[in-house]
């Protein structure tokens, strides 16, 4: 299940070059932080205990929630960008005053 979620994220990233860069940077940063924490606390592969099913399910739920939040933020950002391009730009009072002066 974890692999499929990771694969889904990777597939989404491949569809958009920007997202691919973000995904790669995120993976690199995550891997680096985890390795650093493991080294700091003296954790090696020999000392790792398996995660029980309950913990796995909690992690899956957490990942799903984060993915949903990211998708929602991306949708909101895209919607906001579209609205900004559709809406006519309001001119500031200062620019309106300048136009009036230039007309004289």
User: What is the pLDDT, as a whole number, of residue 1?
Assistant: 44
Q: How many domains does the chain have?
A: 1
Q: Would 53 be classed as within a structural domain?
A: no
Q: Would 27 be classed as within a structural domain?
A: yes
Q: Would 54 be classed as within a structural domain?
A: no
By 3-state DSSP, what share of the chain in percent is helix, strand and coil, each rounded to 5?
85, 0, 15
Note the pLDDT tens digit of each residue in 51-82.
899 999 999 999 999 999 988 988 888 777 77
Q: Would 32 be classed as within a structural domain?
A: yes
User: What is the pLDDT, as a whole number, of residue 64?
Assistant: 94
Q: Would 1 be classed as within a structural domain?
A: yes
Range(s) of the domain holding residue 1: 1-42
Note the pLDDT tens digit of each residue in 7-39.
555 555 556 778 888 888 889 999 999 999 989
Between 23 and 1, the more confident residue is 23
- The tokens describing 2, both together, are 């974890």
């Amino acid at each position: 299940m974890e692999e499929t979620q990771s694969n889904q994220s990777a597939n989404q990233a491949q569809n958009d070059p920007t997202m691919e860069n973000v995904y790669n940077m995120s993976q690199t940063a995550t891997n680096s932080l985890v390795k650093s924490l493991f080294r700091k606390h003296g954790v090696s592969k020999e000392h790792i205990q398996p995660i029980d099913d309950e913990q796995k399910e909690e992690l899956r739920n957490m990942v799903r929630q984060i993915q949903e939040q990211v998708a929602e933020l991306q949708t909101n950002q895209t919607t906001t960008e579209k609205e900004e391009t559709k809406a006519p730009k309001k001119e500031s009072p200062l620019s309106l005053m300048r136009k009036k002066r230039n007309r004289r």
